[in-house]
Amino acid sequence: MCFKSTIISLMFLIAHTSLSAAPICGQSGVWLQVLGSGGPEVDDGRASSSYVIWQEGRARLLIDMGGGSLPRFEQSGASPNDLDAILLTHLHVDHTNDLPTLIKASFFTGRDRDLPIYGPTGNQRMPSTTEFVQRLFGADGAFRYLQDYLDGTGRYRMLAEDVVSEDGKTTLVMDKEKFKLSAISVHHGPIPAIAWRVDIADTSLVFSGDMSNNRDVLWRLAAQTDMLVAHHAIPEQTNPVARSLHMPPSEIGKIAAKAKVKRVVLSHRMRRTFGKESESLSIIRKHYPGPVVFADDLQCFEIKK
């Protein structure tokens, strides 16, 4: 082979590799991959909150999409074409900011089927999920140049839906052959927020999102699940404002124990918890004896029956 054709072959190989990266997680079974294990801070060395659920080597569900999660999505080998739905826990920027970047990116991957986007209802402080999507992509939206993904004239439509969850009751959002999605309204200060449960291929995962546990309902949604992804945004001792938004390690331990979950992953890690991992862990251990892992970006967890 001549030098020139070798170079061309190498260029093709590099281009091909970057376009269709193999998943870092396994090619078979169900996997949780953490795309963003951080919060809204700029100096935590982490992408903001985001998770992908893989099944048989395909990225089926995306939970939140905070800032920096799209490059992680790319690194994970996931394709926007494979997503069956996006689940939002709430609409703070560290959980939603890369949604527009994903929608734009899907143009270049040729996605051509509708994309459900489920999230919370609104209140005076926050828009509902449908209003949020409309204000981003609608005819008067900030990204109105992408409005064909809403009005039906594009290759696919975003199907935004507000998940109504009565106090303390679980809402069944989707029950399909492939998976079941359930949500429950949780307390995150004045911000409408929901926790998600995903039942997929005989396995089950729960995502707390940001919450204080003031309503004490998550344990019910998480009962007997294979994995609880709990947001560990504060240490045990913190100020009242942070405590009204987030749950301390003791609450995480109590929820995990009461729900009898098989495993706990601690994510949404923030600088105020850094260096206090062993303290947090020992507090959780007072209540919950099972496996507990601190999450990092791009980490994979196989979910077993």
Q: Which is nearer to Zn ion, 210 or 251 (CB)?
A: 210
We find the least distance from the C-beta atom of residue 133 to Zn ion, in angstroms, to be 19
Nearer to Zn ion, 65 or 227 (CB): 65
- Name the nearest CA neighbour of 120 among 49, 178, 192, 181: 192
Q: Closest Cα to residue 68, out of 40, 88, 90, 91? A: 40
User: Which 184-213 positions form the footprint of Zn ion (CB under 5 A)?
Assistant: 210
Binding pattern for the stretch 208-227 against Zn ion, x by CB under 5 A and - elsewhere: --x-----------------
Q: Write down the residue that tokens 């998943």 correspond to.
A: 23
- Quickly list H helices, 47-176: 69-76, 93-96, 99-109, 129-137
**Which of 90/263 has CB closer to Zn ion?**
90
Site track for Zn ion across 109-128, x = CB under 5 A: --------------------
Q: How many residues bind Zn ion (CB under 5 A)?
A: 2
- Report the alpha-carbon distance of residue 8 to residue 37 in Å, rounded: 39
Choose the binding region for Zn ion from 90-98, 167-175, 216-224, 290-298 (rule: CB under 5 A). 90-98
Give the helix/strand (H/E) hosting 61. Answer: strand 58-65
With residue 206 as reference, give the H or E element that holds it: strand 203-207
Nearer to Zn ion, 25 or 295 (CB): 295
Q: Does 98 bind Zn ion (CB under 5 A)?
A: no
| Cβ-based nearer residue to Zn ion, 33 or 89 | 89
The span from the CA of 84 to the CA of 179, in Å, is 10
Contact 239, 212 (CB under 8 A): no
84 versus 210: smaller Cβ distance to Zn ion: 210
The nearest distance, CB 220 to Zn ion, in angstroms, is 22
> Shortest approach of Zn ion to residue 173 CB, angstroms?
21
Strands laid side by side in the 191-200 sheet: 171-175, 179-188, 191-200, 203-207, 227-231, 264-267, 292-294
Indicate which single residue of 64, 94, 98, 251 sits in contact with Zn ion (rule: CB under 5 A): 94
Chain contacts with Zn ion (rule: CB under 5 A): 94, 210
